[in-house]
Structure 1
Amino acid sequence: MARVLIHVPPNPKRGEVVEIRVTLAHPMESGFRPDADGRVLPRDIVTQFSARFDGEPVFAATLYPAIAANPYLAFHWRAERSGTLQLRWEGDNGFVQVESVAVRVA
């Protein structure tokens, strides 16, 4: 499992638009860079990110090899009710990371 940092503003007000920020610790190897022996390192990138609130999609992104290591994403979301925000990263070599955050709307 990779290390994940998630920032959701605490107790947003109903109807408030908040910024959600996420960072995933991942090397994002492009598959073009050689190692010390001159062999090309195999590609290993995160290719998809999605966010769902209580099962409903609220944001999605497709990532490409040009994304830096430890990809950072930010998106805006309108907090209408309390629930669970599920964040999912998918990538090469069967990589899947899923994290959930409880959101309590004031």
Structure 2
Amino acid sequence: MAKSTIKLRTKEKGGKVQVKALITHPMETGLRKDKKTGDKIPAHYITEVKVEANGKTVLTADWSGSVSKNPFISFNYAGSKGDKVKLTWTDNMGKSDSIEKEVGKK
């Protein structure tokens, strides 16, 4: 199995779940040039990030090439220990990855 491109952390406190994720992705805009060849580097960036808790969508983010390399995302939602949090990303080249984690488990 390939190594996940997502590091996901969740923590519950006072009825709120904090979600933090680091995604390994080049996030190329398509505007930079290769220093050796002078050719433009093709655009390659995440277009959508979706987070679900127990099958219900709690966040959908539409991104573009303006987001930095290896993006970090952090947010809170009303939830509790034991929630199953799933984060999925999709990029402009049709690639995707996802990870699922139970709140309160390492």
TM range (shorter): 0.7 to 0.9
Which runs of 5 or more residues in structure 1 are unaligned?
Answer: none
Write out the 4+ residue segments of structure 1 that deviate beyond 3 Å after TM superposition: none
Query: Aligned residue pairs: how many?
Result: 102
Residue matched to 2:7: 5
- TM-score normalised by structure 1 residue count: 0.86
Could you give the per-residue CA deviations for residues 26-72 of structure 1, whole angstroms, max 9, x where no partner exists? 11011010102110011100110010111110111111111000011
Alpha-carbon distance between aligned partners in 2 of 1:60 and 1:48, rounded to the nearest angstrom: 7
Which runs of 5 or more residues in structure 2 are unaligned?
Answer: none
Instruction: Map 1:1-106 onto structure 2 (within 5 A).
Output: 2-9=4-11, 12=12, 16-35=15-34, 36-80=36-80, 82-104=82-104
2:59 counterpart SS class: strand
Q: CA shift at 1:3, angstroms? A: 2.5
Alpha-carbon distance between aligned partners in 1 of 2:21 and 2:60, rounded to the nearest angstrom: 13
Identity over aligned pairs, percent: 23
Alpha-carbon distance between aligned partners in 2 of 1:72 and 1:104, rounded to the nearest angstrom: 21
